[in-house]
Amino acid sequence: MPHLVIEYSANLPDFDAAATLAACNGFLAGTGHFSEADIKSRSVRHEHFMVGTASDGRAFVHATLWLLSGRPENVKQALSRGVLEAIEQNFNKPDGLDVQLSVQMQDMERSTYAKAFL
């Protein structure tokens, strides 16, 4: 915990997922809310996608940050803004595309979350 999943459309060939994940992990570690080794992030490139009803000219990057439940709303808002800023700082908008960047916070129930260290 936390778990960060960054999804993006395949029509962003220059999207640097590794650099974006590193920037987001750096931000999250720097907040003091998490142990650095507990931050797990990954990216998923979507070959098949749609944004609205247009067949082309649109793209997206969407991050979901999963946190254990119980964090105050203001903390979640700050985390959401920080992840969005980290994505924006590592994103070069391609010409000819309308791109939407978004972040969603998702709670994981503490009572049902299980974790093992091996």
pLDDT (tens digit, 9 = 90+) per residue, 39-73? 999 999 999 999 999 878 999 999 999 999 999 99
Residue 17's pLDDT is what? 98
**Could you tell me the CATH number of the domain that includes residue 42?**
3.30.429.10
Number of folded domains that form the chain: 1
Express each pLDDT in 4-32 by its tens digit: 999 999 999 999 999 999 999 999 999 99
Residue 63's pLDDT is what? 98
pTM value?
Answer: 0.93
DSSP one-letter string for 12-34: -TT--HHHHHHHHHHHHHHTSSS
| Residue 87, in any domain of the structure | yes
**What residue numbers bound the domain in which 64 lies?**
3-108
Rounded CA separation 7/64 (Å): 8
